[in-house]
Chain A
Amino acid sequence: MLHVSNLSVARGGMTLLSGVDFALNAGQILVLRGANGLGKTSLLRCIAGLQNPVDGQITAPETVAYSGHADGLKGQMTVLENLAFWSSIYHGPSPEVALDAYELHALADRPAANLSAGQKRRLGLARMQVSGCALWVMDEPTVSLDADNVALFRAALDRHVQSGGAAVITTHIDLAIASAKLLDLTRFKARGLMGSTAFEEALE
Chain B
Amino acid sequence: MIQLFLRDVGLSVRSGGGFGLALIFFLIVVTLIPLALGPDQTALAVVAPGVLWLGALLACLLSLDRIFGLDFEDGTLDLLVTSPLPPEAVYIAKAAAHWLTTGLPLALAAPVLGVLLNLDFETGKILCLSLLLGTPALSLIGAFGASLTLGVKRGGLLLSLLVLPLYVPSLIFGAQAVRLAGQGLTYDEALVLLSAISLGAAAILPFASGAALRINLR
B39 within 8 A of A: no
- Interface residue total, chain B, C-beta cutoff 8 A: 25
Residues of B within 8 A of A182 (CB): none
C-alpha gap A131/B84 in the complex (Å): 10
B83 near A72 with CB under 8 A, answer: no
List 3 A-B pairs, minimum CB-CB distance, nearest first. Answer: A70-B75, A72-B76, A72-B75
C-alpha gap A162/B3 in the complex (Å): 31
Q: Contact check: which of B4, B17, B75 meets A71 at CB < 8 Å?
A: B75
C-alpha gap A98/B79 in the complex (Å): 17
C-alpha gap A50/B75 in the complex (Å): 12
Knowing A51-B218, A77-B11, A89-B4, the reply to whether A72 touches B82 (Cβ < 8 A) is: no
B3 near A50 with CB under 8 A, answer: no
Residues of A within 8 A of B217 (CB): 50-51
Residues of A within 8 A of B4 (CB): 89
A76 near B15 with CB under 8 A, answer: yes
Residues of B within 8 A of A (CB): 3-4, 7, 10-11, 14-17, 71, 73-85, 217-218
Task: Write the nearest CB–CB distance from A141 to chain B, whole angstroms.
Answer: 14
Q: Contact check: which of A48, A69, A76, A89 meets B80 at CB < 8 Å?
A: A89
A72 near B11 with CB under 8 A, answer: no
C-alpha gap A88/B80 in the complex (Å): 12
C-alpha gap A52/B75 in the complex (Å): 19
Number of A-B contacts (CB under 8 A): 69
Residues of A within 8 A of B74 (CB): 70-74
Task: Write the nearest CB–CB distance from A169 to chain B, whole angstroms.
Answer: 16
A160-176 contact mask (Cβ, 8 Å, vs B): 1 or 0: 00000000000000000
Residues of A within 8 A of B83 (CB): 63, 86, 89-90, 131
Knowing A52-B218, A63-B84, the reply to whether A76 touches B78 (Cβ < 8 A) is: no
Residues of B within 8 A of A86 (CB): 79, 83
Can you list 29 pairs linking A and B with CB atoms under 8 Å apart?
A: A50-B81, A50-B217, A51-B217, A52-B218, A63-B82, A63-B83, A64-B82, A65-B82, A66-B82, A68-B79, A69-B75, A70-B76, A72-B71, A72-B74, A72-B75, A72-B78, A72-B79, A73-B74, A73-B76, A74-B11, A76-B17, A77-B10, A77-B11, A86-B79, A89-B83, A89-B84, A89-B85, A90-B83, A91-B84
Knowing A50-B82, A52-B218, the reply to whether A74 touches B76 (Cβ < 8 A) is: yes
Residues of B within 8 A of A71 (CB): 74-75
C-alpha gap A95/B207 in the complex (Å): 33
- Which chain A residue lies CB-closest to B77? A72
Residues of A within 8 A of B11 (CB): 74, 76-77
B79 near A66 with CB under 8 A, answer: yes
Most buried by A among B7, B10, B14, B71: B7
A85 near B3 with CB under 8 A, answer: yes
Residues of A within 8 A of B84 (CB): 62-63, 89-91
C-alpha gap A63/B85 in the complex (Å): 10
A34 within 8 A of B: no
- Which chain B residue lies CB-closest to A74? B11
A50 near B85 with CB under 8 A, answer: no
C-alpha gap A190/B218 in the complex (Å): 20
C-alpha gap A49/B73 in the complex (Å): 19
